[in-house]
Amino acid sequence: MARALYMQGIRPGDVVLNAWAYSTHNGAFAFDEALYRWLNCVVLTTGTGAVTSSRRQIELARDYGASAILTTGDYLLHLAETAREMGLDPRRDLQIRALPNIGDRALLEETFGVPNYASYGFHEVQWVATECPARRGLHIFEDAFVVQVVDPESGEPLPDGELGALVVTELYKTGSPQFRYNIMDLSFLYPRERCECGSWLRRMGPFAGRGDNMVKLRGVNVWPEAVGRIAMQVPGVAPDYFVRALRSGNRDEMVVSVVGEGDPGGFPRIADAVASRLKEELGVRIGCEVVRPGELDGWTELHSSPKPKRFRDER
């Protein structure tokens, strides 16, 4: 992880804001370890906007001359908008010179005037690969990971260049090592050859979607099936739902539509109850709308398909 942060532009001695959530998810702590122990950086452990307000995050970044703010690309763009509301220019008044953030590359680079390199990793194994300035694939840290691409259905290995599910084996962890872990993220492998940057490290393609329905929402893995199951536990909700992932205001959002029982006048109360239950159990805010019986049939194809559809990605 420290090498990946270095490749993204962070250097020893830098001040870095860590705005990831400090919780049972190990991401924030792993970043701290990489920055403090291996890069000798000063880490400001601000946590998310729910812990340290967005305005305060900007004040800290400006006062301490932070070179990077670790968070989702969506939240970083929100912080940029907050800076503008404070009368600041994110590019001129902040000293950001590294963007190790996953999000809208073009908008991040335009906002901060710094290159944004693609990367790939996930909770169970950490940071697997990072793009170099040549931008022809992501270099896999092969001394730490073995990456394979397999057919999502059969599990059989696929040839170079063919899109399939990523299977990752860790070579360095002792606490919770993963062996041939099929994360069901889709990508492909480049042929083994020397990159324009000079590296011989194997390259993989960028994240190209999911082999199942999982959505990463503000750093949290969310399965639409889990959203539906939780929503249908709320009193007043019938056993029918449909989940949509969509893009709104430079960030990924998720909305669950459920069928309400009884008087439609009580639907707003049911929607609030569902949203609160989802936030409590999943730790991320998900919108809810309540509709009348039959109004979801066009989406779920309940009466025309042998298996009802429950999810659509509209991003």
Per-residue model confidence as pLDDT tens digits over 216-258: 787 787 888 889 989 999 999 998 899 999 988 878 899 999 9
pLDDT attached to residue 44? 97
pTM score of the predicted model: 0.72
User: Which one is predicted more confidently, 28 or 74?
Assistant: 28
Distance CA 160, CA 149 (A): 8
Question: Who contacts 90 (Cβ-Cβ below 8 Å, separation ≥6)?
Answer: 79, 80, 83, 84, 96, 111, 112
Q: Which domains does the chain have, with CATH numbers?
A: 2-112 (3.40.50), 134-204 (2.30.38), 215-313 (3.30.300.30)
The arithmetic mean of pLDDT across residues 264-282, rounded, is 95
192 has a pLDDT exceeding 70: yes
306 has a pLDDT exceeding 60: no
User: Which one is predicted more confidently, 176 or 44?
Assistant: 44
Assign 88 a pLDDT band (cuts: 50, 70, 90).
Answer: very high
Q: Give the whole-number percent of the chain exceeding pLDDT 70.
A: 98
Distance CA 18, CA 48 (A): 8
Cβ proximity of 75 and 19 under 8 Å: yes
Look at the alpha carbons of 35, 40, 44, 45 in this order and tell me if their dihedral is positive or negative: positive
pLDDT attached to residue 265? 93
211 has a pLDDT exceeding 80: no
301 has a pLDDT exceeding 90: no
Assign 209 a pLDDT band (cuts: 50, 70, 90).
Answer: confident
pLDDT attached to residue 213? 76
307 has a pLDDT exceeding 70: no
Distance CA 301, CA 63 (A): 55
271 has a pLDDT exceeding 60: yes
Q: How many residues appear in the chain?
A: 315
